[in-house]
A and B are shown apart, each in its own frame.
Chain A
Amino acid sequence: KQEVTQIPAALSVPEGENLVLNCSFTDSAIYNLQWFRQDPGKGLTSLLLIQSSQREQTSGRLNASLDKSSGRSTLYIAASQPGDSATYLCAVCNQAGTALIFGKGTTLSVSS
């Protein structure tokens, strides 16, 4: 059974710092890996999607990498801002492409 783990569970940084969120998964047979952001009381917003054949994706200040063979992904956030404060969720898509399996998230707090 696929399991997704995110470390750390919570992170507090001052504004301007670069930071890395970690995600690991137990079964490398995935269709893709996605990073989402969740703000309190709201739904999920997709940040980046990395297909299983890809190594990384970039969007603005965000860069996500994928090492499928070792079951790891990282989300790099450059020059963090208070508006980046949220819970970040990593999810892997099963090989059938029908379901996302989520980690429990990393709650990020960026102070000004």
Chain B
Amino acid sequence: GAGVSQSPSNKVTEKGKDVELRCDPISGHTALYWYRQSLGQGLEFLIYFQGNSAPDKSGLPSDRFSAERTGGSVSTLTIQRTQQEDSAVYLCASSRQGTGTDTQYFGPGTRLTVL
């Protein structure tokens, strides 16, 4: 079946602009995760959604970052007033239940470049 999809695959923006990154999880997966991968920092957790529960936002680096998940499916990660240090690959993952027992399936990522 279809895997996790993300769009756009690449995004180049100017410093100070807002960007939106989209994630479509695997159908039927109730848990959705955002991570980012930057040079020198490795992969960092950003946010976790599970069903109708309040999201775990503990990994968001600043209040310029926010995410929502509409209808328990598609998620959008928004970065306001982008900075050069926001340049990274943003990865989305989903899992069936998100209880920690499930494998997380990752999308191909969105490469964000802030000029």
Q: Which residues of A contact B (CB under 8 A)?
A: 31-32, 34, 36, 42-46, 49, 51, 89, 91, 93, 96-105
Separation of A91 and B109 alpha carbons in the complex (Å): 18
Partner of B91, one of A44, A91, A93, A103: A44
Answer yes or no: B56 CB below 8 A from chain A CBs: yes
List the A residue with the shortest CB-CB distance to B53. Answer: A98
13 A–B contacts from the bound complex (CB under 8 Å): A32-B100, A32-B101, A34-B104, A36-B106, A43-B107, A43-B108, A44-B91, A89-B43, A96-B100, A98-B56, A102-B42, A102-B43, A103-B42
Q: Give chain B residues whose Cβ lies under 8 Å from the Cβ of A100.
A: 33, 35, 43, 45, 104
- Classify chain B: how many residues form its interface, as a range: 20 to 34
Q: For the complex formed, measure the closest distance between the CB of B75 and the CB atoms of chain A, giving whole angstroms.
A: 15
B91 touches A97 (CB 8 A): no
Partner of A104, one of B42, B56, B100, B108: B42
List the A residue with the shortest CB-CB distance to B49. Answer: A98
Q: Give chain B residues whose Cβ lies under 8 Å from the Cβ of A42.
A: 108
Q: For the complex formed, measure the closest distance between the CB of B103 and the CB atoms of chain A, giving whole angstroms.
A: 5
List B89-115 residues whose CB lies under 8 Å from chain A.
91, 93, 98-101, 103-109
B104 touches A43 (CB 8 A): no
List the A residue with the shortest CB-CB distance to B59. Answer: A99
A96 touches B56 (CB 8 A): yes
B101 touches A101 (CB 8 A): no
Render B40-75 as a binary contact track against A, CB cut-off 8 A, 1 for contact.
001111001010000010110000000000000000
A93 touches B42 (CB 8 A): no
Q: Give chain A residues whose Cβ lies under 8 Å from the Cβ of B107.
A: 43
B48 touches A98 (CB 8 A): yes
List the B residue with the shortest CB-CB distance to A93. Answer: B100
- Known: A43-B107, A93-B100; 7 extra A-B contacts, CB below 8 A, are A31-B101, A36-B106, A46-B105, A49-B103, A51-B101, A97-B99, A98-B56
Q: For the complex formed, measure the closest distance between the CB of A10 and the CB atoms of chain B, giving whole angstroms.
A: 14
